[in-house]
Amino acid sequence: MYLVAHVDTSICSETACKLCTQFCPETNTILYDNDKKTAFVAVDRCKACEICVSICDTMAKHHAIKMIMITELENPFEMNKAGFNPAKWKELPETVVLEKVAK
């Protein structure tokens, strides 16, 4: 079980700052979808350094990125499976954050 960065697409799509894509140390990990106008994370490449979280919170002030347990994500984007092909990103199932089981 480990944490990965997760972009809240509803917040991100309202801005166009793209700062997280520029400050992420890993290549092709925070990707940008030009159609949906939002950043999103390739979870198999994320090393959970949280630089994007601090950039989004302090520099961009959008608070759109959170660290989240990998098991709480349904249909996360994986670069190994999907490959880098923006034209086919539309066909992929949408990533859903599973609701935590109520205590």
Partner 1 sequence: MSMDNLKISPALEKYMTKEYRDLVERGPYGKQKKVSEMGTFKEIIEEHPMCAGCAMTLFIRLTMIGLPNPEHTILVGTAGCGRLALSQTSIPFIYGNYGDTNAVASGLKRGLEMRFPEQPKDVVVMAGDGGLADIGFSTVLHSWFRKEKFTTIMLDNEVYGNTGGQESGMTERGAILKMAPKGKKYEKMDMLGLAKTANVPYIVRMTVTNPTRVASVVRKAVLIAREIGPTFIQAYTSCNIEYAIPTPKVIDDAKSLEAERYGFQEFISDEAKAFLESIEPKKAKATKSTED
**Residue ranges binding partner 1 (CB under 8 A):** 18, 21-28, 30-32, 34, 39, 45, 47-51, 53-55, 58-59, 83-86
Q: What's at 73, amino acid-wise?
A: L
Report the greatest alpha carbon distance in the chain: 41
Nearest distance, CB of residue 10 and partner 1, angstroms: 18
CB nearer partner 1, residue 54 or residue 98 = 54
- Would you say 49 or 92 has its CB closer to partner 1? 49
Contacts of 66 (CB under 8 A, 6+ apart): 5, 6, 8, 53
State whether residue 11 is helix, strand or coil: helix
Query: Nearest distance from residue 99's CB to partner 1, in Å?
Result: 26
Q: With respect to partner 1, which residue has the nearer C-beta, 49 or 98? A: 49
Q: What is the spatial distance between Cα 18 and Cα 12, in angstroms, rounded to a whole number?
A: 9
